[in-house]
Structures are given as C-alpha cells and as structure tokens.
Amino acid sequence: MALRNVVLVLLLQFVSCQRPYIVVNGKPSFCKNTLCPSFTVKNSTATYETRQYGPEKWIANDVVEQPLLFPTKKQLFMPLDKYTRRNRIPASSPLLVKSYSKVSNFTMMMYVPKSYTRNLRNRGYVYVTEKQNFTAYVRRSFAGNPNSILRWKYEANELKNALIRDKLTFNHDIFYSAIYSEPWATWASHNEIWFIAK
C-alpha cells in the first residue's frame, strides 16, 4: 500500500508539469473554440499565476451534502446545459466547480459571454450570479482526468501550500476546479485550480 501511494504521488507530480499557453487576439489557447472570460496575468511563478478578472456573469446550480460523484456532477450540469440551450448561449469555458473544505456542498458555474447576458433570468434550480473584479491564484495547468476527486484535492493542496509559503492572503476554505474540456471527458490537457484572494 505504501509503495502504491509513493507511485501515485510521483505520477501526479509528473503530469502536474506546467502546460504553457499562448494568447492569440486576446484569447488564451486553452479556451480553444469556446468563449472565456478575459483576464490579466499580474504575476507568475513556477507553481501558480496571479490573474485579475473583471466583472462577469455566470449561471450556477448547487447541491448540498452530497459526495461529488458522477450522479452529483450530472445533477449539477444538466440544468445548466438545458438553460444555455434554451437561451442560445454558445459554448463557453471554464466550467467551474466550487468546493468547500468543511462541508460536502458544491456549486457548478458556467460563464456567460457579455453579449448574452441581457435577458438572463433565474429559472428552476439555475440562478444568475455576478462576480465582481477578483484576483485568482491559479495552479499552473495540469493534464489528467478532470473527474478525479483525488486529483483535484492533490492539486488544491499543492497550490494552498505554495500560497501559504509565499504569505499570500486568500480564502483557505473554498477552491474552484476549472475545467476546459467536456465535463464527461476522462482526460484533458488543461485543468486548473483557483483560490480567490481576499
């Protein structure tokens, strides 16, 4: 068992290597053919980068006291997907999953491009939320299974330790998993972890 854990950690470190990206016409390459919120990189280290995001609107859906397994992710995602189709909102990224360290509550959020925010309304379980200007500490891109809970926790812990080491102020109790692939994908070349600065 101990050997298995060592091998797992080494494997995670190997696939956690930085994945460089380029910006073309103001759009990061990891957004591919989707629309994504703009940001400015304020600082970059070997472990993470500091991004400044402007005010944006998102649609969101919550679950309370449930493990983040596939049925829960489906319960979160399907109402959001139905909402975007009904309102003809094009594909966007990232798909954010907000996780709390002390409780099994989760919020999934989809970015809504500015040109599609005019007639947004709460509908059923889906509600509209607006994020004001915020600073995100972002774990440098890592490849892997975007549906691996173990992987998200590992990467979040690595980022948290780096931020604590650098004596940065942030919300320790909440982190965001940023997914830039289809939510049902078993492998993605670009995944991120976010902590939000206080």
Q: Are 146 and 182 in contact (CB under 8 A)?
A: no
72 pLDDT band, cuts 50/70/90, is confident
Q: How far apart are CA 61 and CA 20, in angstroms?
A: 31
Q: Largest Cα–Cα distance in the chain?
A: 55
Pair of tokens at residue 179:
């997914």
8 pLDDT band, cuts 50/70/90, is very low
Q: How confident is the model at residue 98, as a pLDDT?
A: 95
* Burial (CB count within 10 angstroms: exposed 0-12, middle 13-18, buried 19+), residue 16: buried
Amino acid in the structure at residue 167: K
Size of the chain in residues: 198
Q: Are 110 and 93 in contact (CB under 8 A)?
A: no
Q: How confident is the model at residue 66, as a pLDDT?
A: 81
Q: Which CATH number describes the domain made up of 2-196? A: 3.20.80.10
Instruction: Note the pLDDT tens digit of each residue in 21-34.
Output: 767 666 788 888 88
Q: How confident is the model at residue 29, as a pLDDT?
A: 81
Q: How confident is the model at residue 152, as a pLDDT?
A: 86
Query: Residue 119 half-sphere exposure, CB side, CA atoms within 13 Å?
Result: 6
Ramachandran assignment for 32, one of left (phi > 0), alpha (psi -120 to 50 degrees), beta (any other) = left
* Residue 171 reports pLDDT greater than 60: yes
3-state secondary structure of 137: strand
From the list 122, 129, 88, the residue with the least C-alpha distance to 108 is 129
Average the pLDDT over 164-185 and give the result.
Answer: 90
CB atoms within 10 A of CB 9: 11
Q: What are phi and psi of 121, to 5 degrees?
A: -140, 150
Instruction: Note the pLDDT tens digit of each residue in 95-154.
Output: 999 999 888 899 999 999 999 998 899 999 999 999 999 999 999 777 777 667 788 889
Task: Write down the residue that tokens 């070349």 correspond to.
Answer: 189
DSSP 153-193: HHHHHHHHHHHHHTT--B-TTEEEEEE-S-TT-S-EEEEEE
* Residue 81 reports pLDDT greater than 80: yes
